Structure 1
Amino acid sequence: MALIENYKIVALKNKFSIFLLAILAISTGIMSFVFYFNNIDFGIIQYKESTLLSNSFWKLSLDIHIIFGAIAISTGWLQFLPIFRAQRLNIHRMIGKIYIVFSFN
């Protein structure tokens, strides 16, 4: 009986961990989009020289990095859901491929 109770505690901790991971990942992705679309000079951007900020290649690279990173972070947590993988294997694989591509930008 103790083994069943321990399993329930572990299962509850895992659900809470996945829930927390999902909230943090989605929040980080949303925050990235908010900063990107509102042109907020935050973090490392505020310390860059104006010549670098006016470079169109650097700006394009940063834009791709922010967008792809936000998408990778926002969708990556889904890969940790066992029921998602079991019931929707094709979507799980597609999100995995998207995550891999967007992670290596």
Structure 2
Amino acid sequence: MNKIGNKIAWFLFAFLAIGVSLYPILYGYLAYIDVEEALRSRKTAELLADVFWNTGFYTHISFGGLALLVGWVQFSKRFRNANLKRHRLIGKIYMIAVGISGLAGLYIAFYATGGVIAKLGFGSLAVIWLYTTFKGYQTIRNGDIQKHEIYMIYSYAACFAAVTLRIWLPMLSTAFGGFIPAYRIVAWLCWVPNMIFAYFWVRRKSLATV
């Protein structure tokens, strides 16, 4: 039963990661039709006309989607053992994507809807995502596979916030009767529980603490 449960959990994990990672493609297509119509209710006209914000926004969701799409497969021990070269290649793609998306995300966090609470939430997420990914790179360069694994678990937990945000936001918007209060909460709720889960996962796997 435990094996069946693990397979179901793995399937949901992969399904959600792939499904949400493809969201930027659809969003990008719709954006060509009418960007302002999609964002008008949440962003000012001045911000929508800002080339830097638009560049940061589309860079963030595009490369973030790429990181989400390729990152989940790295957790398959069978895949790692059978395809070490591919594991390394995908790891490089993931880290580059995180670096680009994370920096763009940190920039657009300053313009997050919902005021200081939302800005701090998404800004903290971007910093943690960048930091854990950098440490993952640093530790594998130093040959410390165990710590590399730990940092990459935390990194993808931060990356998976893209999924949990889309799960929580509709429910919270309904519960609170509005987008703004829900968005302030989800700015933290989309990633803090993920990091807590990652912490206990690391402990369960009996990996060294960092």
Question: TM-score if structure 2 supplies the norm length?
Answer: 0.42
1:77 to 56, 72, 92: 72
Alignment partner, residue 27 of structure 1: 19
Q: How does 1:1-105 map to 2 (within 5 A)?
A: 9-39=1-31, 41=38, 46-104=41-99, 105=101
Determine the C-alpha separation between the residues in 2 that align with 1:25 and 1:46. 28
CA RMSD of superposed structures (Å) = 1.7
Q: Identity percentage over the alignment?
A: 34
Q: Which runs of 4+ in 1 moved over 4 A?
A: none
What letter corresponds to residue 26 of structure 2 in structure 1? V
For these two proteins, the number of residue pairs brought into alignment is 95
Provide the secondary structure at the position in 1 that maps to 2:12: helix
What letter corresponds to residue 62 of structure 1 in structure 2? F
- CA change 1:46–1:100 in 2 (3 A) is farther
Determine the C-alpha separation between the residues in 2 that align with 1:47 and 1:99. 30
How far 1:19 sits from its partner (Å)? 1.3
Aligned residues of 1:18 and 1:81 also touching (Cα < 8 A): no
Larger Rg: 1
Question: Deviations along 1:21-73, whole A, 9 cap, x unmatched?
Answer: 1100010011222112211626xx74111111111111111111111011111
Question: TM-score if structure 1 supplies the norm length?
Answer: 0.79
Determine the C-alpha separation between the residues in 1 that align with 2:41 and 2:92. 33
Alignment partner, residue 104 of structure 2: none
Aligned residues of 1:36 and 1:66 also touching (Cα < 8 A): no
Higher relative contact order (CA 8 A, sep 6+): 1
